[in-house]
Structure 1
Amino acid sequence: MEAKAFLLHFILFVFICSHNSASSRILNKPSNFLSSASLPSGNAERLIKSFNLMPQHDVNIIAKGSPDAPRLVESQFNFPETIGMRNASGGPSVQEFGHYAGYYSIPSSKSAKMFYFFFESRTNNTDPVVIWLSGGPGCSGSVALFYENGPFTISDDLSLSWNDFGWDKVSNLIYVDQPVGTGFSYTSDPSDLRQDETGVSNDLYDFLQAFFKEHPKYAKNDFYITGESYAGHYIPALASRVHSANKNNEGVPINLKGFAIGNGLTNPEIQYGAYGDYALEMKLISESDHESLKQDYVDCQSGAKQCNLNGGEACSSARDACNNIFDQIMSKIKGTNYYDVRKKCVGDLCYDFSKMETFLNQENVRKALGVGDINFVSCSTAVYDAMVDDWMINLAVKIPALVEDGINVLVYAGEYDLICNWLGNSRWVEQMNWSGQKDFGATKTVPFLVDGKEAGLMKNHGPLTFLKVHDAGHLVPMDQPKASLQMLQTWMQGKLAAQTTGVTVRP
């Protein structure tokens, strides 16, 4: 496998420049990010450097029958002691609870194997099963595992310690490297690289079927789908696939109770329209800039509608027109961290997630995980390129049928994220056409409290909740770990909805 000169787009979500863009236009959008095959390599290099990630390969496609291919199904793993396992606070070792890693074959593919981590709840194995999906498209779930809501964090010396606010404190937690080709997931057939959400959701459904067959004791647990950024596409698609399968008595029943989208890209037509308004509200641009962006949005909106009607080339044109809006905003605020507008990037560097790459690519760690000679691909250019026309598709249209059937939906967003800002997310939620739309719109916004203090603002009606998280950017679990854990727990228990209605919920 040859490395492509840094044409990688990291994990949150990398907005794309058009094919006709001059090199001076600004690159954007990752962590669950996006980017474009048409980007000059210099711009792509600057983008990946902003996260301090340098994957050695652009995708995990290996030769068919290669002796390097892992054959492990699943095993409990133990990181080598030389990596460092102690908790600085004197608590238990990270070895002292159930954690597993492995591969499942994907029957709907030619030869794909999907890699995952599974962490049993630190509290009770009857807790819900939660799957986390990172964005990209094409970025590994391990960024969230090590830097956001996983059971442990990674230190400068590559030692591991407990995360006091890991989501495994209230759930049995799965991180999966998907779509196939990223992280440690791999295939020997390039046709397994997915191009749309049908392919992505079918693969994830196959993965879940394999998981619950391997772990039947968890099959009756409540099940929730979570993620951030481009997972705003993945999550509704997977939820719809699971719900449909359950209705049709297909496979092992999955007890889907809800899904949560964090700072996601879900309805691009509406969300791109919010960029100018958010930037003006945050005093990032002037009134005249704002008026100019309104005119640009006319082309963006028209293109998005055509994309969702006709697909194909219309989606490429829409993406270019819409990303022009973001590019113009960034040209006014050069050096600003577009994942958290309170912050400046130091040189090329906005975040440093390099320890994760170093840790997972060490030979003894790969051996402990059973991945053989497979290299860790933090973000895959090839996976991104394969799905580039999926970007402008509206996935919010899949949600009304789910909420009508009582599937709980939480949409949350950190208030200082520009890329997937809270304003755009709140607008598509408000405009979603379902039986409770009018009542949701009339519902009062109330404080989300953590330790008696306001940590956000939220509104709820029936199964639908929207939460704006204070003092957070794109990566809410990293910026506000305690609030995000409480958010997850109270939402799964139905207590977030109770806060908005004033109903007392007994423990």
Structure 2
Amino acid sequence: MAKVNISYSEMQIISTMKPLSQYHLQKWNLFKKPSSQISQMLLLVFLLIVSLDVIESQFRVKSLPGFDGDLPFTLETGYIGVGDLDDVQLFYYFIESEGNPKEDPLMLWLTGGPGCSALSGLLFEIGPFTFDYAKSTLENPILEINPYSWTKAASIIFLDQPAGSGFSYARSPHAYITNDTMSAMHAYNFLKKWLVDHPKFLNNALYLGGDSYMGIVLPMIVQEIYNGNKDKEGMKINLKGYILGNPITDTSGDYNAKIPFAHRMALLSDAIYKSANENCHGDYLNVAPNNGPCIHELIVLDKCIGQIYKPHILEPQCETTNALKYDLFRRVLRALDNTSGNILGLPEVQIQGCRDDNYLYSCAWANRRDVREAFHISEEFSDIEWVRCNETLLFNYGEEAISYTHNVLSTVDYHRRFADKTCRALIYSGDHDMIVPYLGTLKWIQSLNLSVLNDWRPWFVDKQVAGYMIKYSKDDYNLTFATVKGGGHTAPEYKPKECLTMLMRWFVNDTL
């Protein structure tokens, strides 16, 4: 066996991002064109073998720990290999539409970060089950049905990507090192392989959906699909459009939108905002080190908004001591391999009644042995910890991630190119989100110079204003932008009923 040389930096990555199961690894490149000498019969046999190989890594999940009885929806989990020699093993949860799977749209859903697990989006945002917080403890989380799941309207593939997110992993240290463009290509290749093995969904209308940082990655996947569809001999994917929630799209513009947003929301006085805008020239991200007046303004701004909970400016901040206690709780729980929760001596974690407390349940639940067995995560890799968001991949302004290069700063030009396609787009923002303020999103949308079909107006749920919308178009391209009143980062977590209503109306008609 050839010796593999691993650098010190790669060893650091391995220590924080151990690979998960190599269970049912994929062995073939489905989209390598056969030579002209291979007969059609051999090609069919080849595809049959490939399909069988993929099927081995798929499992129907009929029940889950914490949920009483069989699941009232169809859930499948599995791994699909992508990249060189299928070194990257991407884990997915597929849930068929609870309406009419034959006719309803198919959606590939990507959770942001990058590095946040698809299970987070499934549990806390748009999936069919979540936690019953009134009955749950960290030792024994209890599941309940989410009546506002987006699977009421579509079949959804929730994908853990890139490697190191959720239960996805790489078989070599090199494969953990990735960037925006590679992440997009891996997701595109995953989708093609998944459709080969699920041919009954090939004719369903396909929408790509994602939130937060996927505003950078998802448009590149859309472009890859358009490029691939031009290949006469390649797979034709029935792409109809894309959906983006609270999306980072232009990193500089989205960041700089935080200050005018804070001013509009009465977090900054007129005088402070005017002074900061003048001294920083509207750019609070790229500040010259010799611009003393702007640096002073940044200190003033931080005093005003530094303690605000950025995902939703009206909600409280959690104390960090709770997270530290949970970290100890989690380590003890994992060490004892607890599944029943009847263990003495665990550190007490006080639920504080703020948003971050909800996320503690997902870590406690996903790291239980019986949960992993239900999802068919290999026992061979039971020492691998599931985390909601992998910090070695996350995007933070001014910081470099350990194993992820954020090599695309803006995807506005992608949207500009899509305006020449037959395509539909829904962009929505929680109007209390200060991570990606709606002002920045609206600004880049306006820069596309599309025609306004329906000007700014309210949209309603249960006869109440649920937000505001504006509809743009150019030839066969339609873009609907909607705010979700009272929504944060991201909107479905805070306003699930309104967001499901928004989605269902948009699927039928671009007007909400």
TM range (shorter): 0.7 to 0.9
Please provide the CA RMSD for this pair.
2.8
**Aligned AA for 2:451?**
D
d(CA) in 2 for partners of 1:186 and 1:273? 35
> What are the within-5 Å matches in structure 2 for residues 99-498 of structure 1?
99-108=75-84, 111-125=87-101, 126-155=103-132, 156=136, 157-249=140-232, 251-294=234-277, 295-296=279-280, 329-348=301-320, 350-352=355-357, 353-372=359-378, 373=382, 374-384=384-394, 385-386=401-402, 389-390=405-406, 393-432=409-448, 437-440=449-452, 443-462=454-473, 463-493=478-508, 495-497=509-511
Counterparts in 2 of 1:326 and 1:70: CA distance versus 1, 3 Å: farther
Contact residue 76 and residue 101 of structure 1 kept, 8 A: yes
- Assess, with a 3 A threshold, how the Cα gap between structure 1 residues 388 and 303 changes in structure 2: closer, same or farther: farther
- Residues 445 and 250 (structure 1 numbering): CA distance in 2 closer, same or farther, change over 3 Å? farther
- Using a 3 Å threshold, how does the CA distance of structure 1 residues 114 and 164 change in structure 2: closer, same or farther? same
Q: Secondary structure at the match of 1:383?
A: coil
| CA positional deviation for 1:276 | 1.4
- Unmatched tracts of structure 1, length 5 or more: 1-36, 38-55, 63-67, 87-92, 305-316, 500-507
Counterparts of 2:285 and 2:81 in 1: how far apart (Å)?
Answer: 40
Deviates more, 1:369-378 or 1:277-286: 369-378
Aligned length: 409
Structure 1 residue 70 and structure 2 residue 51: aligned?
no
How far is the alpha carbon of 1:392 from its aligned partner?
Answer: 6.3
Kept in 2, the 8 Å contact 1:403–1:409? The answer is no
8 Å contact kept, 2:256–2:283: no
CA shift for structure 1 position 286: 2.2
What is the deviation of 1:297? 5.1
Q: 1:187 to 1:208 in 2, by over 3 A?
A: same
Taking the TM superposition and a 5 Å limit, the aligned residue runs for 1:81-92 are 83-86=65-68
- Superimposed CA distance per residue, residues 246-280 of structure 1 (whole angstroms, 9 cap, x where no aligned partner): 12346422111111111111012322232211111
Q: Distance in 1 between matches of 2:285 and 2:130?
A: 41
Q: Secondary structure at the match of 2:115?
A: coil
Change (3 A) 1:219 1:327: farther
For 1:136, the aligned partner's letter is G
Q: Could you tell me how far apart the structure 1 residues matched to 2:446 and 2:363 are?
A: 39
Residues of 2 paired with 1:287 and 1:170: CA distance?
A: 44
Shift of 1:302: 6.5
The alpha carbon displacement at 1:383 in A equals: 2.7
Whole-Å separation in 1 of the counterparts to 2:309 and 2:297: 17
Partners of 2:408 and 2:284 lie apart in 1 by: 10
SS of aligned partner of 1:405:
coil
| Per-residue deviation, residues 447-468 of structure 1 (Å, max 9, x unmatched) | 2121232211001022111101
Q: Does the aligned pair in 1 maintain the 2:256–2:282 contact within 8 Å?
A: no
Task: For 2:128 and 2:467, locate their aligned partners in 1 and report how far apart those are by CA, in whole Å.
Answer: 24
The one-letter amino acid of 2:61's match is F
Alpha carbons of structure 1 residues 99 and 328: separation in structure 2 relative to 1, 3 Å = farther
For residues 177 and 450 of structure 2, the distance between their equivalents in structure 1, rounded to whole angstroms, comes to: 37
Is this contact kept in 2: 1:151–1:168, CA < 8 A?
yes
SS of the residue corresponding to residue 109 of structure 2 reads strand
SS in 2 for 1:351: helix
Pairwise CA distance, 1:438: 4.9
Q: Secondary structure at the match of 1:130?
A: strand
Give, in angstroms, the shift of residue 96 of structure 1.
Answer: 3.1
Q: Name the amino acid aligned to 1:135.
A: G
Alignment-mate amino acid for residue 280 of structure 2: D
Separation (CA, whole Å) in 2 of partners of 1:217 and 1:165: 26
Query: 2: CA distance between counterparts of 1:365 and 1:417?
Result: 33
The CA deviation at 1:153 is 1.1
For structure 2, the 5+ residue unaligned runs are 1-8, 25-55, 321-353, 395-400
CA–CA distance in structure 2, aligned partners of residues 286 and 416 of structure 1: 18
* 2-structure distance, mates of 1:323, 1:240: 39
8 A contact 1:446–1:458 mirrored in 2:
yes
| Per-residue deviation, residues 123-151 of structure 1 (Å, max 9, x unmatched) | 11121111211111111111111111101
Q: Which residue of 2 aligns with 1:7?
A: none
Change (3 A) 1:481 1:109: farther
In the TM superposition, what is the alpha-carbon distance from 1:328 to its structure 2 partner? Answer: 6.1
Report if the CA contact (8 A) 1:193-1:386 is conserved: no
Q: Answer with 385-394 or 220-229: which moved more.
A: 385-394
Q: Is contact 2:63-2:70 (8 Å) kept?
A: no
TM-score, length-normalised on structure 1?
0.75
Partner of 1:3: none
SS at match of 1:227: strand
Question: How far does the alpha carbon of each residue in 1:349-384 deviate from its partner, in whole angstroms, 9 at most, with x for none?
Answer: 652211111111111111121112243232223333
Aligned residues of 1:117 and 1:176 also touching (Cα < 8 A): yes
Query: What does the per-residue CA deviation read over 1:104-125, in whole Å, with 9 as the maximum and x for residues that have no partner?
Result: 0114465110000000111111
Matched position secondary structure for 1:408: strand
Q: How many percent identity over aligned positions? A: 27
Secondary structure at the aligned position of 2:99 is classed as: coil
How far apart are residue 329 of structure 1 and its match?
A: 3.8
* Post-superposition offset of 1:386: 4.9
- Give the match's secondary structure for 2:510: helix
